[in-house]
Amino acid sequence: MFIRSSSKTINRRPNRWPLLLCMLLVWSPASLADARGASTQTAAPVVKETTPSVVNISVYARVKQDNPLYNDPVFREFFDIPKQLEKEVQATGSGVIVDAERGYVLTANHVVAQISKAQVTTKDGRKFDAKLVGRDPATDIAVLQLQGPKGSLKAIPMGDSDKIEVGDFVIAIGNPFGLGQTVTSGIISALGRTGLGKQGYEDFIQTDASINPGNSGGALVSFSGQLIGINTAIISPAGGNVGIGFAVPINMARRVMEQLVRYGEVRRGQIGISIRDLAAAMASKEGYQGALIGEVVGGAPAENAGLQKGDIVKSVDGTPIRSASQLRNIIGLTPLGSRMELRFDRNGMSRNALVEVGPAKAPVRRTADQSERARY
């Protein structure tokens, strides 16, 4: 029997209990929760878990005044002005707690350049003075250490940036325009971006998650809640976000951090080769990738390990090599004295070599037809 719309029909005794039973099934809280869970997609759990690890950084620095009148001795004497004037400036950026016990914070180098003092504010409003452990302009990575009691700090787990893929969903967390902690989302747009002229060692993750001024040093987080990059740069004609942001891969940032914590600086080495990207015809052959050795320095670690001019490096310690810049980054960030296992092709045959990283020396002279002739 169907239910009619008249109140008289609905209130007839034979139909009351089936109707009430239907209403209870439809409107029970459990059913609503199930319906919401099936239809609602949210990043809230990841955001709740990771945002306590992202901090705001206020930097105070002293910079030299640039007015040419200050170089005029008559002007300085008349106005009783010292030879060099400095002024204190304040800037804001972001950072990520990666070691709660020791209070280590990863950030971008340009956030703390020329630092005289820094103050770090956590999401729950606590403020810490921060000491500069070390910085590396070549990768735009720096490490701060929070001072004082560090109870209940929360560090974000580091992921593996070698395993991320274009199209993965990501979250960017930082302090854009000094507004306070802000979360944006997007996808990974590209990997291995180089040639931006931002830093000396480039292997950027590109994302369309909004990254604006003040986001620098903040976290790029996977949807599994792991730190995969440190936000560092944007491409923008007007200084705002246009959907092209960049982050330093966490694997690179981790290697830099390890040396900064240990030495206060990055001690780069080389194995004595010059490298360049594969020719377009070779690179397009069934997705063939690697880095071509253009020269091997006599007596260098590479020659001692058996590498030769024309060898194509395919992987280092199991990590596939897709470009000369990637190989350059790996060599440059491997501690002195460490050994790297290189897999390379020679005349179509695959071979392996164990190479020890030695101290850096002067670069090889460049020639007109060699775009990657520096020695690594």
Active site residues: 110, 140, 216
| Residue 128 to residue 125: CA distance in whole angstroms | 10
| Residue 247 to residue 218: CA distance in whole angstroms | 9
Q: Which residues contact 305 (CB under 8 A, 6 or more apart)?
A: 271, 342, 353, 354, 355, 356
List 343's β-bridge partners, or say none: 315, 352
Contact at 8 Å (CB) between 292 and 276? yes
The two structure tokens encoding residue 323: 């470009």
Contact at 8 Å (CB) between 275 and 374? no
